[in-house]
Amino acid sequence: MRVLRRIAGHGSPTNAQRYLHPDVHKITAAEAALSTHVNVLRAPRSLPSP
């Protein structure tokens, strides 16, 4: 938010929020991507076969 305010030249968060319209589909897709990434990092790694 701070970066967006700076780019847009807004001094207050309230002014910047007027232009932020969250897209539910993008938020859901980002959440799914993050969950997948975290699950991959947590998955046990197998050792290579000899």
Reported as a single tens digit per residue, the pLDDT across 1-50 is: 667 667 767 677 676 676 666 778 887 888 899 899 888 888 777 766 66
Transcribe 1-24 into DSSP letters: -HHHHHHHT-SSHHHHHTT----H
Contact 13, 1 (CB under 8 A): yes
Domain coordinates of the chain in residue numbers?
A: 2-42
Asked whether 7 and 20 are in contact (CB, 8 A), the reply is no
- Residue 1's pLDDT is 61
Residue 10: predicted pLDDT: 65
> What CA–CA distance (Å, rounded) separates 42 from 38?
6
What's the rounded Cα separation, in Å, for the pair 17 and 5?
Answer: 9
The pLDDT assigned to 15 comes to: 67
Beta carbons of 32 and 25 less than 8 angstroms apart: no
